Structure 1
Amino acid sequence: MTHDHDHGAHAPRNPGRAFALGIGLNLAFVLVEAVYGVLAHSMALLADAGHNLSDVLALTLAWGASTLARRGPSERFTYGLRSSSILVALLNAALLLVVTGGIAWEAINRLAAPMPVAGETVIGVALLGIVINGASAMLFARDRRRDVNMRGAFLHLAADAAVSLGVVVAGIGILLTGWLWLDPLTGLVIAAAI
């Protein structure tokens, strides 16, 4: 018996749909998290919103790098544009340094003068973050073993779900103990994790 049909699993998949959904979900969540972070006076939520905003940019840049890497060689770029992902990684790192600096600065100021924080709001929004980041990570799970760019997106989003879990724990801690310093401390931990 002949075997003459094509197997799609062997051909590189266009990850555009995963990137578009991941960017859309995370951008919507950044808006929710930022609004509720301000309303709840939560440095942890605002820090996570800043971190997730950098994720949106990182996913956008990774999508661009993925698109460029699939282009074949040309007269000008004889090896194609596969190395564009290295430049994207450098740009992402620079962006993360800026975001981290802002988060750390505000968290240190809030440690010196803690503000009342709405623990229930922090918990609810962070639980939503676990769902959004977990779902976004799963968009890249299929290709994470074949493509370093997809693996990076998967790991980054899975780590973000873990960060959201840390924010949930901080919210519970604030509710149970009334320790307002837990919120800015969590913001500092997020900045260090970035």
Structure 2
Amino acid sequence: MNYRFKPVASPRTSPAPEVGCCAGHAHDHGEHDGHGDHQDHAHHPGGHSHGHGHGHGHHHHAPASYDRAFAIGLVLNVGFVLVEALYGWQIDSLALLADAGHNLSDVAGLLLAWGAFLAARLAPSPRLTYGWRRASILAALVNAVLLLVAMGALMVEAIQRFQQPAAVSGWTVIVVALVGVVVNGITAVLFMKGSEDDLNLRGAFLHMAADALVSLGVAGAGALYLHFGWPWLDPLVSLLIALVIVAGTWGLLRQSLHLSFDGVPEGLDVQRIHDWLLSRPGVQEVHDLHVWALGTSDTALSAHLVMPGGHPGDDFLRSLATELKARHRIGHPTIQIEIEGIADSCTPSLKPAGH
């Protein structure tokens, strides 16, 4: 969605400019009905003019149906926290009470991810021209930090229990832990498909899958304790599970932090994009190329194309936008066309393939 400013009356000319510096913006936003293609040519001092071609058709990987998934996940997890805390208080189990507190962080993580998911759908404004899409990146980052902190606390508790092993609280702990496996497992499945394309949903998925694994470990340790009577099994299993979860969460933390600083989204090769743009008919040089994430499922690109033959027209820009979306999953391309090339100071060091 693009914020549309109210136009100010200005003189127009009809044909595309033959000389001067031309700027063309190619956008692909097909889901916005009623947005037609247009080309504006406004005169500027010194005889320079700019041409803008827009074709609209945004692609979002995370549909609105995930609202239901978030709602179901929250209801299940709030209910489980209440049940676990109640049984922990009744049998005086510190393990269950501590795990109930940990599962409360799941509720916070889901609320955070859902809030960012909703914020990303808010309309852009004159002050926030891209809207709130970056909220999904920040939510993924905070979710990763929360999960790492929770696992750190679990490892500290496991180490302390090695020094003072405590008896596992029998069948009650096992049954409650298995309920946790079911609740967290169901919630994780709700976000499994969306986690493939959206980093925010991936954070929610990892958070719930991690807790399902923790609960499974608690149940398994309880069963082994009942059979062998080894009190050190509980802290050992907890420590191993925490280490596995930290290893899996580290990638989420690294990727969300990378995107927070406008890093190139994972799976995109800037050099390959540069070479592809350079291979377009009439393009002599590509510079000032930037690729960054608007949100966890939206990617933007800006580039200057030096085309000595003149402005190529809207059909060229529309085709470029379509190809960028199909080849590189880039839904927000902004292309500036130049006749002779304009020097810039922020271009990454890129050379054509074979040089």
Q: Comparing 83-92 with 68-77, which one deviates more in the overlay?
A: 83-92
Residue 69 of structure 1 corresponds to 120
More helix by share: 1
Q: Deviations over 1:51-110 (max 9, x none)?
A: 422221111000000001112321111112111122222322333344334333332222
Q: Which moved more, 1:154-163 or 1:166-175?
A: 154-163
- Tell me: CA distance 1:133–1:11, structure 2 relative to 1, closer, same or farther (3 Å): closer
1:41 counterpart (93, 96, 104): 93
**Partner amino acid, structure 2, of 1:27:** V
- Check whether the contact 1:41–1:115 (CA below 8 A) recurs between aligned residues: no
Say if 1:61 and 1:88, in contact at 8 Å, map to a contact too: yes
Residue 158 of structure 2 is aligned to residue 107 of structure 1: yes
| Partners of 2:169 and 2:194 in 1: CA distance | 39
Identity across the alignment (%): 58
Unmatched tracts of structure 2, length 5 or more: 1-60, 247-355
Aligned length: 184
- Aligned residue runs from structure 1 range 106-125, under 5 A: 106-125=157-176
Distance 2:119 2:135 in 1: 7
CA distance in 1 between counterparts of 2:194 and 2:240 reads: 30
Q: In terms of mean alpha carbon deviation, does 153-162 or 74-83 score higher?
A: 153-162
Relative to the length of structure 1, the TM-score reads: 0.78
Give the whole-Å Cα distance in 2 for the aligned partners of 1:190 and 1:57.
Answer: 21
State the one-letter code of the partner of 1:110: R
Higher relative CO (Cα under 8 Å, sequence separation at least 6) belongs to 1
Change (3 A) 1:140 1:89: closer
- The answer (yes or no) to whether the contact 1:137–1:155 under 8 Å persists in 2 is yes
Residue aligning to 1:91: 142
Q: Which residue of 2 aligns with 1:81?
A: 132
| Matched AA of 1:41 | S
Give runs of aligned pairs for residues 147-186 of structure 1, distance below 5 A. 147-186=198-237
| 1:108-153, Cα deviation, whole Å (9 max, x unpaired) | 2221111222231221011111211122223334644554433443
Q: Distance in 2 between matches of 1:11 and 1:92?
A: 18
Query: Which whole-Å CA distance do the structure 2 matches of 1:19 and 1:138 have between them?
Result: 11
Larger radius of gyration: 2
SS at match of 2:230: coil
* Structure holding more strand per residue: 2
Measured in 1, the distance between the counterparts of 2:141 and 2:197 equals 22
Alignment-derived partner of residue 23 in structure 1:
74
Asked if residue 58 in structure 1 is aligned to residue 125 in structure 2, the reply is no
Within 2, Cα distance between the matches of 1:61 and 1:67? Answer: 10
